[in-house]
Amino acid sequence: QALERARDNANLSAEYGKNWTELEKIAVAARILAAEGHGSTLAGQISLRHHTDVEDVAFWTLGYGRALEEVGVDNLVLVNGDMQVLPDGLARDTQPQPNMANRFHAHIYRKRADIQSIIHTHPPYTAALSQTGHSLHIAHMDAMALYDDVQHLTHWPGIPFGDEEGELISGILGEQHWSAMLAHHGFVVGGRTIEEATYRAVIFERTARSTLQVLAATTGHNPNTLPVVDPALAREAKSWRLHDGATKTHFYMWARLALRNPA
């Protein structure tokens, strides 16, 4: 009963930004991730599925050449699964070109009809952890959205311009997982909404930071013997953390901070 009241309160708290378009939310997500330390690079990728009867897969993504700190709606581009630019109806002086490394998003969208948004970045703590052979240590309540979910791609297939990485990542996510650590690389997360994907992305990098801190504090110990949480309690916390109202409340709170204090 207390959990249901908390969910009701979260739904009421998610009112801010409710009139934003989906494209505006992509731009806001970019600013949130920049404020969280994912920016100042061209490696940041955010995409949102575009439903169409013409293409087997189409999605909005960031135009190449802009850091997350700079992204606005004018910098977004609509592409198909072959990374060909599609007419998008936006009035602007120049047409952005896509980052061809976004190709692997199409593989995920083809395989997972439930994934509506994908985020892939190379933030510093995840990048560092990805070089150690370890994945995330998920044993703190703030990380429970990722409990029993994060997959680990243990080898790096190279620059992701072809289809190999898309097949590898969509394969490791499988039919039910939403996030993965990519060795010598970064992370990828999906979401049922842009807000949910952003929530996972923020929590992923924060958990990578805490994992490195835990590993440093327990030098000489086997990481596989670190304390773990009760599975039943973890699953209950995960359900709460990924409730639609809760993810949107976090998104809009981070949006207020990021837009008040631009990165």
Provide the pLDDT for residue 45.
Answer: 95
What's the pLDDT score for residue 122?
97
* Average pLDDT taken over every residue of the chain: 90
The percentage of residues in the chain with a pLDDT greater than 90, rounded to a whole number, is: 73
pLDDT of 157 above 70: yes
Pairing of strands 45-49, 58-62: antiparallel
Q: What is the pLDDT of residue 14?
A: 59
Which band of pLDDT confidence, cut at 50, 70 and 90, is reported for residue 263? low
What pLDDT was estimated at residue 221? 67
pLDDT at position 89: 78
Q: How confident is the model at residue 16 (pLDDT cuts 50, 70, 90)?
A: low
Rg of the chain over Cα atoms, rounded to whole angstroms, equals 18
pLDDT of residue 185: 94
User: Which residues are paired to 80 by β-bridges?
Assistant: 58
Residues with Cβ < 8 Å from 48, sequence gap 6 or more? 22, 23, 25, 26, 59, 60, 61, 116, 117, 194
- Pull the structure tokens for residue 205: 């990098």
Residue 135 has pLDDT above 60, yes or no: yes
**Please, which residues bridge with residue 58 across strands?**
80
Span 230-257, pLDDT tens digits = 999 999 999 999 999 999 999 999 999 9
Average pLDDT rounded to a whole number, residues 45-60: 93
47-51, 106-110, 189-193, 258-262: least confidently modelled range: 258-262
Nearest to 59 by CA among 69, 74, 43, 45: 45
pTM for the predicted model, two decimal places: 0.92
Percentage of the chain exceeding pLDDT 70:
91
Does residue 3 surpass a pLDDT of 60? no
Q: Which residue has the higher pLDDT, 54 or 173?
A: 173
Q: Give the per-residue pLDDT at 4.
A: 56
> What band does 1 get if pLDDT is binned at 50, 70 and 90?
very low
Q: How far is 204 from 161, CA to CA, in rounded Å? A: 24
Write the pLDDT tens digit of every residue in 86-126: 988 787 778 889 999 999 999 999 999 999 999 999 999 99
Q: What is the mean pLDDT of residues 183-207?
A: 97
Asked whether residue 55 carries a pLDDT value surpassing 90, the answer given is no
Nearest to 48 by CA among 20, 66, 25: 25
Q: What is the rounded CA–CA span in Å between residue 72 and residue 68?
A: 9
